[in-house]
Structure 1
Amino acid sequence: MSNGAGSQFSERNKTREGDNDDVTSTACRSLVDQRGRIARKLRISVTDRCNFSCLFCMPSRNSISWIPNEQLLTFEEIARITQILSSLGIEKVRITGGEPLLREGLETLIGLLSKIKGIRSIDMTTNGWFLSSSKARALRKAGVRSMTMSLHSLKRDRFKKISGMDGLQRIIDSIEAAREAGIYPIKINTVAIKGYNDDEIIDIVNFAKERGLSLRFIEFMPLDGQNIWNPEMVVSGKQIFDIISKHYKLNPKKRSHGDTATTYELTESANEIGYGKAADIGLITPISNPFCADCDRIRLTADGKLLLCLFDSSYYDLKPFLRSGIDKTGQNCSYPRDCSGLEKPSALKIVQYESDKDKRLADYITSCVLMKPPGIEYMTPLSLEKMREKRPRAMYGIGG
């Protein structure tokens, strides 16, 4: 799907050589797929419910069937899966939804996750509607390190059109609440959509720069629930880069392994606007310049499905291991995992599990991760369209 985006914008590709050199640093008991990519990051959806109706995410509310509460993983089940994944190499966790703050008592889950050995950071993505000052402080105390909030327009009517909620000022207030609570960094996500908000790119940059916020522009992906996506609506990372470059100098930052964004420091303004310095500006380009080659993320849905790629249509159900006691011996992947064909590690990673059930779940997870698809970077337009037809869930049910 990549269309090439210019020498400065394509810094990501320069870092790919040797990106997978650490395959041999862990054992067969790590989350390695057939391309040698190792999963280090876990995105946990705690609910599919959301009070927003963002057009790039949510279908018509009349057509939504929410996951029944009894099918949701409990906090203890989420923590148990995360502990097993941590033993297999997961280091970073991001809490998502739907809207995660609709899940009552989320601080309890954060507290459980923060006690898991090997988990280095816990971050959260939220629309910000329910983030009061007291909630922000409670989340920070429980262990949330950083927070990402969505801001797709600075115009009240457009914000409502894109998100389905008249809540622009409330979200701006929530950003301030997170700052006051000591949550850092705070990132702002903006999905750039042609004809909706592409004329606000500089306004949003200035908003973030004035407040010292990190900003991520995201290309519109074909994961919307309303099926309005088409390639003509995509504002490419290169186009966003060119727009910002007319106002600011963009100094490329070194890309870390597995980063989804090409990031830049914003230096002096060409127009002498005079705002304070933002943390950084990032371009997330799954359509024009994907980052599949060293993807290190996997996802856990609110009802216990393991999803290996946003653009995959296969889900692997972990819940039977937790609730039925049945030895599940395969769902679209080999069990236990055969490590033949991968480079042998220099030293084995010895993992002790509390029960045979946990060991079987770990074996099942590693065998499923082995089947992780290449990603959108390797899809043709035809295969992408087939994925859209087959994909059983829109973005709200996957977790961002």
Structure 2
Amino acid sequence: MPAPAAPAAPGAVGAPLVDTHGRVHRDLRISLTDRCSLRCTYCMPEQGNEWLAKTSILTLDEIERVARVAAADGITTFRLTGGEPLLRTDIVEVVRRLAAISGPDGRPVEIAMTTNGIRLPEVLPALIDAGLARLNISLDTLRRDRFRELTRRDRLDDVLAAIAAASASPLRPLKLNAVAMRDVNDDELVDLVEFAIAHDAQMRFIEQMPLDAGHTWDRARMVTQDEILAALGRRWRLTPVPGRGGAPAARWMLDDGPHSVGVIASVTAPFCGDCDRLRLTADGQLRNCLFSTTEYDLLPVLREGAATARLDSHARSRTEDPAVLERARNGQDEAPEAGVDRMLRACVRGKLPGHAINDPAFLQPARGMNAIGG
């Protein structure tokens, strides 16, 4: 096995984004807004949400500027998330601008999106024309009463219409995401997979993670990967699919194919060793892990030409290398593109080996999932 690539030196614009553990980063999740048209119980409260200030939300030009630097540094996939990305009134133009970006090898980047589906039918043709390549749609239940209780909105018909529209489109693979929850939807696992198969989609179950804004996550209510597979195994013969790479979902073929099911087991079967993802929040914060308590602030770089790194109240408890943060604070009066590159590299260098969810000292991020981006 070849030795892992060495981390890129500071200022080596265009070199791969490699962390101190040899992981090469190729995927950037870009959150477009923290707002959402649903209020899923595992994500955000129904009322009392404190939204990001509109002045702090990245503009289309700023998103494109960051994306171009990231692509030059080897990022090959941009996944648009939220909140709900379709709430951005300029969503089609966001896709169009990002889809026009190519990497150092001349190949265009791939544009993917995770959405709750509301508004999708009306904009899907324009999104495809703009360059959208892949789509994930959230669907936790097929029952109207449960959907209303889970999301606090009576919008199941809208989501089902979105899935029907996506199924009729050329976008493949089409993936449906469900958070598996004990005594909530764990009796629908087989039904959800059969629904996905009927729509030529891949069902993916996600272990519930400590990312709710209300910090009410309860490990006992989480349905584990083993439990999910046991339930599905009573209906289908499951065969592991090799070659997962950096994908968050492990996959199993159903009765030897052609359909498969995925499980994202961040809690019971972490895949941190192969993680190739970075995140950009809607207000311009770079994050090297979904569960990180450290953020790297791009807003001053983009708007003032001065780079800083912003830490939340728990940052120092994660024993980040202070030298990394100090380097990120240097470099005043540089070109914005150089500042973005330097901050990307500082963020990558500060990445820890894993998220430590199962460590007794684990601290949940202050932000909820809607503000971090999926």
1:178 pairs with 166, 169, 173, which one? 166
Matched ranges for 1:151-166 at <5 A? 151-166=139-154
- Residue 363 of structure 1: aligned partner: 342
1:322 pairs with 299, 302, 306, which one? 302
Matched ranges for 1:1-400 at <5 A? 21=3, 23=5, 29-62=15-48, 64-118=49-103, 119-132=108-121, 134-267=122-255, 279-326=259-306, 328=307, 333-334=324-325, 336=327, 356-376=335-355, 378-384=356-362, 387-388=363-364, 391-400=365-374
- Cα distance in 1 for partners of 2:126, 2:4 equals 37
Whether the aligned pair in 1 keeps the contact of 2:29 and 2:279 (CA below 8 Å) is yes
Shift of 1:379: 4.4
- Cα distance in 2 for partners of 1:218, 1:104 equals 29
Shift of 1:334: 4.2
Shift of 1:237: 0.5
| Alignment-mate amino acid for residue 58 of structure 1 | M
| Alignment-mate amino acid for residue 93 of structure 1 | F
Shift of 1:373: 2.0
Shift of 1:238: 0.9
Whether the aligned pair in 2 keeps the contact of 1:156 and 1:166 (CA below 8 Å) is yes
- Cα distance in 2 for partners of 1:169, 1:156 equals 9
Shift of 1:51: 1.1
| Alignment-mate amino acid for residue 32 of structure 1 | V
- Cα distance in 2 for partners of 1:235, 1:317 equals 35
- Cα distance in 2 for partners of 1:322, 1:177 equals 37
1:172-208 Cα offsets, whole Å, 9 max, x none, are 1111112223222210001000010011111111111
Shift of 1:361: 2.4
Shift of 1:33: 1.5
Q: Structure 1 residues 26, 278: CA separation in 2 closer, same or farther (over 3 Å shift)?
A: farther
Q: Structure 1 residues 50, 21: CA separation in 2 closer, same or farther (over 3 Å shift)?
A: farther
- Cα distance in 2 for partners of 1:278, 1:176 equals 20
Where does structure 1 differ by over 3 angstroms across 4 or more consecutive aligned residues? 24-29, 329-332, 334-337, 378-381
Q: Structure 1 residues 206, 196: CA separation in 2 closer, same or farther (over 3 Å shift)?
A: same
Stretches of structure 1 that go unaligned for 5 or more consecutive residues are 1-17, 269-276, 338-354
Q: Structure 1 residues 231, 25: CA separation in 2 closer, same or farther (over 3 Å shift)?
A: closer
Secondary structure at the residue paired with 2:63?
helix
1:117-156 Cα offsets, whole Å, 9 max, x none, are 1243100000001112x41111011011111011101111
Shift of 1:168: 1.6
Whether the aligned pair in 1 keeps the contact of 2:133 and 2:171 (CA below 8 Å) is yes
Q: Structure 1 residues 330, 310: CA separation in 2 closer, same or farther (over 3 Å shift)?
A: closer
- Cα distance in 1 for partners of 2:215, 2:6 equals 42
Secondary structure at the residue paired with 1:382?
coil
| Alignment-mate amino acid for residue 364 of structure 1 | M
Whether the aligned pair in 2 keeps the contact of 1:55 and 1:226 (CA below 8 Å) is no
RMSD of Structure 2 on Structure 1 (CA) = 2.0
Q: Number of matched residues?
A: 349
| Alignment-mate amino acid for residue 43 of structure 1 | R
Shift of 1:163: 1.5
Q: Percent same amino acid among aligned pairs?
A: 37
Stretches of structure 2 that go unaligned for 5 or more consecutive residues are 311-321, 329-333
- Cα distance in 2 for partners of 1:278, 1:230 equals 36
